[in-house]
Amino acid sequence: MSSTNPTRLDENSGPVEAGCPRSILEELGPTSHPYALDWRNRCYRQLRLKERKIADGDMIRLPEPMKFTDGSEHAEFRVTKRGAKIELSTPDGRGRFRISRLMERRFEVVPPKRAVRTFFPATP
């Protein structure tokens, strides 16, 4: 086998790249080989990350702050969608940031803060 003849490689060889499309993964037969199982799990994990949905106006939080070329570091961002592109700003609306391969990174969508309404009973 040689690296110039990839048709002889299979998932039991321990592939490193975990970007297999779902349609191909669903065509694979059962296996118990540890390399193949690990590779399939990594591929499905990557697909779940890419398939997440974020909406315009959502707040997202990275597990740790990311340093940008302007020297600033941020972990929380507000999402602005411009067509298929995603633009990020700080929660207070300052700055415009882009993070390459954002949907392949780990982050959480921060639920919006709700104002708690206080009701006072009417006094007779």
Residue type, 27: E
List the pLDDT tens digit at each of the 124 positions of the chain. Answer: 455 555 566 666 666 788 888 999 999 899 998 888 998 999 998 888 888 888 999 999 999 999 999 899 999 999 999 888 899 999 988 889 999 989 889 999 988 777 777 777 777 6
pLDDT of residue 14: 62
Q: pTM, whole model, 2 decimals?
A: 0.64
Query: By C-alpha distance, which of 23, 27, 43 is closest to 35?
Result: 43
